[in-house]
Amino acid sequence: MAGSYHRSLSATAIFALQVVLMNLWVYPALLLWTLIGILIFPFLFGVGLVFLRQPADRLMRWFVWIYGRGWLLLMSPFVRFRREGMERVRIDRPCVFVVNHFSFFDTYCMALLPQYDIVFAVRSWPFQLFWYSAFMRLARYLDVEGSSWEETLSNSRSVFAGGGTVLFFPEGHRSRTGEIQRFYSGGFKVAIDAGVELIPLCIDGTDKLLPPGRKLFYPCTVTLRALEPVTTGNYRDVNGHIRLRKQVKELMSAELVAMREGQKQ
Amino acid sequence: MTEQEVIELIDSSLAEEFELEREAMTPEANIYEDLGLDSLDTVDMVIVLEGAFKFKIREEEAVRGIRTLGDIHRFVLSKMEQQS
C-alpha cells in the first residue's frame, strides 16, 4: 500500500518536472522560431520567387508548412508525434481536408501531412494576428467569415485548379469537451461543388497537450490519422452536403473512439 | 402553401442544416443565444431558406435584423406574400 503510494507520488513529481522543463523550453523556442521566421522567410520568399519560379501563394504555403515542421521539431523532446494512414493522402490530387479541432496547436500539427500545398479556411480573427496576417494573405488563406459564400467557392476552385488542397476545421471552434461538436457545412459544400475528394483527418492528443483555457503545455502523444477519402460525386443533390456531413462526422467520431481505445491498450 | 406549412418547412430545413433540437425551436428562441448559431451559420441560413423557398434574399437588409426564429418566420411569410 505504502509502496504504491510512493510510486504514484514519484510519478506525479516526475510528470510535474517534465511539465516545468517542457514549458521552460517550448515557449522561448517557439517565440524564437517565430521571430526567425518573420525575419528570414520574407528574404527566402524573394529568393524562392526568383529561382524556383513557383506561384507566390504556393511558395508561401510551402514556407508555412516548413514553419509548422519547425514547431513539431521543437516540441518533439516532449511530444511523440504519430502519423497514420498518410498513404491515403495523394499529393498530386486536389482535395478537401476536414479535421476535428481540440487545440490551438492543431493548426501546426497539419505539418504532419505529406502535402504542403494547403490553403487553410479560417474565421476572420486569425487574420488580425499581425505577426501572421501578411503570410496568411500571401498564402491566400480563405477568410470564410469575412468573405461571401460565392468568394469562398470561387477562391477554392482556383486553389484546386492550381493543384492545391483546402483544409477546414468543420467544427469552427475548439472542442471543450473532448468530443466532436456540430459540423458547419462549408467544407462539404466546397468539396461537392468542385467534385474533389474529401479526406477526413482525425487528430487526437492535442486536447491533452494544450486544451482551450490552459496556458501550460503537457507532454503527451499526438496522433494524426487520415481516413479513407470520400468521393463527392454522389452528393450533388439539394441536401447532399447534409448527408455527406453526417456521414463524415459519424466516421470521424467512430475513428476517434477507436484511436483512444487503441491508446489505452 | 399555408402559413403553418411555411413555418414547418422553415423549421425542418433549419433543424436539418444545423442539427437543432425541434423542442428548442420556439418562435421566441434567439437564434444565437438559444439555438447556438453564429455569424458563419447566418450565411448557411440564407442559403437554406433560398433553397427551400426558391427566392433570393442574400442582398436584403432585413436579413441582418433577424434575431429570433419568429423573425425568420415573419420574414419568409412577408417575402412570400410579396411574391404572390
Q: What is the pLDDT of residues A89-114, one digit of tens each?
A: 988 899 999 999 999 999 999 999 99
CA dihedral B18, A213, A128, A63 (to 10 degrees): -100
CA dihedral A177, A180, A184, A186 (to 10 degrees): 130
Q: What's the mean per-residue pLDDT of chain A? A: 93
At a CB cut-off of 8 Å and minimum separation 6, what does A34 contact? A67, A131
> Residue B30 forms beta bridges with which residues?
B68
Let me know if domain A2-264 sits in CATH 3.40.1130: yes
Q: Which residues of B touch A (CB under 8 A)?
A: 16-19, 36, 38-41, 43-44, 47, 51
Contact A177/B at CB under 8 A:
no
What single-letter DSSP state applies at residue A120? E
CB-closest option in A123, A149, A182 to B19 = A182
Phi then psi for residue A55, to 5 deg, are -55, 145
State the pLDDT at residue A144: 92
Grid coordinates belonging to A159:
486553389
CB A263 within 8 A of CB A197: no
Q: What is the pLDDT of residues B5-22, one digit of tens each?
A: 999 999 999 999 999 999
Phi then psi for residue A244, to 5 deg, are -60, -45
Q: What letters, b where the CB count within 10 A reaches 16 and e where it falls short, cover A165-175?
A: bbbbbbbbebb
State the pLDDT at residue A116: 94
CB contact under 8 Å between B41 and A184, yes or no, is: yes
Fold held by B3-83: 1.10.1200
For chain A, give every domain's residue range. 2-264
State the pLDDT at residue A52: 85
**3-state class of A104 per DSSP?**
coil
CB-closest option in A148, A184, A242 to B40 = A184
pLDDT level of residue A22 (50, 70, 90 thresholds): very high
pLDDT level of residue A21 (50, 70, 90 thresholds): very high
CB contact under 8 Å between A242 and B17, yes or no, is: yes
CB A139 within 8 A of CB A84: no
Whether the pLDDT of residue A142 is over 90: the answer is yes
State the pLDDT at residue A39: 93
Q: What is the pLDDT of residues B31-69, one digit of tens each?
A: 999 999 988 898 889 989 998 998 888 778 888 889 999
- The predicted model scores a pTM of 0.89
